[in-house]
Amino acid sequence: MSQTDAKATILARIGHALRDEPAAPEVPRNYRRTSSLNHDDVVEMLEDRLIDYKANVYRETTETLPGRLRELLGDASTVVPDGVPDTWLPEGIERVRDVNDSGSVLSARELDALGAVVTASTVSCAETGTIFLNSRPDEGRRALSLVPDHHVCVVPLDTVVELIPEAFERINHADPITMISGPSATSDIELERVEGVHGPRRLDVVLLG
């Protein structure tokens, strides 16, 4: 059976199971949906969570951002989504586009050979210390934030919220969503933390005011 036929079979069975159109259960929504904190406290909460998750956090302005990126990236070849503003980047950076000479997106092997990636972000939840990428032009496709070993993520302060419901309201749920809480990490059988197993070993977060 082909993959297409298998998918059609599964969907047909789901449709058959739902033929009597059972009513959706009522789900209580009595959890907090709106923050009561002032925004400065929310940003401090996010910074505290990210540092606890072993990310490096910096506070910059549009004027100081290029200098910070120069310091973080050094001479690394860096893949940068087309939507990232040129004004963010320091002069002389080797900006690699996510398209190779044949017009195709970079392969996983090509991305792995690069030193770093710079992306923006859609929204960040302070309560959980989670940054959301939503595949926008200034974030690129999901592979960009998973394959390179070093991810520099720019988080504008006006995109920081306290609660998950607030974050979900800012997400386009029709597009891929990547959630980041610190550098990729896991623990081996001896409970030793190992970083870089499923994504970037190093995460630098720039809070942009």
Q: How confident is the model at residue 196 (pLDDT cuts 50, 70, 90)?
A: low
pLDDT at 48: 97
Q: Which of 76-90, 92-106, 125-139 has the lowest mean pLDDT?
A: 92-106
The structure tokens listed for 135 are 């595949």
Q: Which of 198, 195, 182 is nearest to 142 (CA)?
A: 198
In Å, how far from its chain's centre is CA 124? 9
Residues counted in the chain: 209
C-alpha span between 24 and 34 (Å, rounded): 25
**For residue 40, pLDDT beyond 70:** yes
C-alpha span between 79 and 119 (Å, rounded): 9
H-helix or E-strand spanning residue 9: helix 3-17
